[in-house]
Amino acid sequence: MSEGNNLVGVDIGSSSIKVAELKEKRGGARSLQYFGFHPLPSETIVDGHIMNSGAIVEGLQKLFHKQKRRDVALRVSGHSVIIKKITMPQMTTAELEEQITWEAEQHIPFDLAEVEIDWNVLSQRADQGQMDVLLVAAKKEEINDLTQLAIEAKLKPRVVDLDAFTVQNAFEAGYGAPPPDQTIVLIHVGASLTTLNILAEGTTSFTRDIANGGNQITEEIQRALGISAEEAEAYKCGGDGRGLVPREVPEVISQVVDQLAGEIQRSLDFYLATSGGGDVSRVLVSGGTANIRALLDAIERRCRVPVEPLDPMRVAQPEGKRADLALLQARAAQATVAMGLALRKDREKRA
């Protein structure tokens, strides 16, 4: 349960920083008060590790130089995060709080002294005396590094969330609660990481991170044509004013996105084979690479399921002078995580 003011969502990715500020109105309507985007130099973040903290702090300062509100929600992802769905005997919240550390020792492959633990009850099965619990662990070092950067930029970190759940927050806010009789797949394709979140019976049922994203397309174009990373990125995005796109580019893109779609297909096949759940009803894709239609077509072809881009504009419409509509339209696919973070509140408690 949450109450109070919305936090400002800050998505620090491996290629850019995205910031979103929402305002909730009476009746549940929302407006987007501010959206900011700042590109980061290459190799600022490598394999989830911050290599150039100065570039991130500078970017945050630029994005917040006219911002009054500085209470923020941040996100972590990748190898520093473990998400497990576990089944436990039914018990009270107080009993679960006492038991969860022991459960974490059984399911988390990290030293518990090195991680922050959180959990949420997904469902209760009173007739079986069982309940499903979502157990999450994130390395303290990664969280501390992230929050310290925000503090250096004169921000006030209040919440740290996970990619998979921020996308789910945005989906539910924009599209409504997932129907309990449908299986919906949310795929966020960032620059260096792809995150899957499978929703079944109205809640998270399976998550997976794939160490592949938009950067691999850029690198393969760069290698095939012998050009700079900047030129390859421009060609990946359709030319970006550089004239005709070389004929090799679509071929390279097709090969890379088919490999990623194959990884996604194997993840879905594994889930369906081990969960006993129903067939996937729809797939929604977010992240900058969702702008590449060939990726959506490859996933649809591989998984034989309707695939569409997730539209974060359904969460809130821009309003006011600080909501740059042109920027938002150009970067909408990259805004999803920041929008999901901006739904978090400054006063929250466990339901």
Tell me: the pLDDT tens digits for 319-334? 877 888 888 888 999 9
Mean pLDDT of the chain: 91
Torsion over CA: 46, 48, 54, 59 (sign)? positive
Q: What pLDDT score was predicted for residue 100? A: 92
Q: What pLDDT score was predicted for residue 58? A: 97
Written as six digits, the tokens of 330 are 């150009």
Residue ranges of the chain with pLDDT lower than 50? 1
Contact 214/288 with Cβ under 8 angstroms?
Answer: yes
Domains (range + CATH), the chain: 2-348 (3.30.420.40)
Q: What pLDDT score was predicted for residue 350? A: 58
Tell me: the pLDDT tens digits for 21-76? 999 887 778 999 999 999 999 888 887 778 899 999 999 999 999 888 999 999 99
Q: What pLDDT score was predicted for residue 80? A: 84
Q: What is the pTM of this model?
A: 0.92
Contact 133/122 with Cβ under 8 angstroms?
Answer: yes
With H, G, I as helix, E, B as strand and everything else as coil, classify residue 290. Answer: helix
Nearest of 264, 266, 140 to residue 213 by alpha carbon: 264
Q: What pLDDT score was predicted for residue 241? A: 59
Q: What pLDDT score was predicted for residue 90? A: 93
Contact 63/349 with Cβ under 8 angstroms?
Answer: no
287: left (phi over 0), alpha (psi -120 to 50) or beta: left
Q: What pLDDT score was predicted for residue 2? A: 60
Q: What pLDDT score was predicted for residue 276? A: 78
Nearest of 11, 93, 98 to residue 342 by alpha carbon: 11
User: H or E segment at 284?
Assistant: strand 280-286
- Helix 229-236 to helix 214-225 angle, to the nearest 10 degrees? 120
Q: What pLDDT score was predicted for residue 73? A: 97
- Between CA 275 and CA 206 the distance in angstroms is 9
DSSP 113: G
DSSP letters for 258-270: HHHHHHHHHHHHH
Four-point Cα dihedral 234, 213, 305, 291, nearest 10? -20
Torsion over CA: 53, 163, 327, 252 (sign)? positive
Written as six digits, the tokens of 304 are 């034989």
Contact 217/194 with Cβ under 8 angstroms?
Answer: no
